[in-house]
Homo-oligomer: A and B are copies of this chain.
Amino acid sequence: MRACPDTRPPRRVRSPRGQGDRLREEILAAAENLLVASGDESALSVRAIAAAVGVTPPSIYIHFADRNELVFAVCARQAEQVDRAMDERASGEPDPLERIRLRGFAYLAWGLANPEHYRILMMGRPAATPARFAGHRVAGGGGLDALAADMSEAAEAGRIRLRHPPRVSAELFWMVVHGMVSMLIAKPHLESAPPQETYQRMFDLVLLGLAPRD
Contacts and interface: CB of A to CB of B under 8 A. Distances in A.
A interface secondary structure, majority:
helix
A3 to B, nearest CB: 39
Contact of A172 (B123, B187, B205, B212): B205
A134 B122 CA distance: 21
A186 interface: yes
Copies in the complex: 2
A175 B126 CA distance: 22
Contacts of A124: 186
A186 B40 contact: no
23 contacts: A40-B125, A119-B125, A123-B182, A124-B186, A134-B189, A158-B213, A161-B213, A162-B210, A163-B201, A164-B209, A168-B192, A172-B198, A172-B201, A172-B202, A173-B205, A175-B176, A177-B179, A182-B182, A205-B206, A206-B206, A207-B211, A208-B210, A208-B211
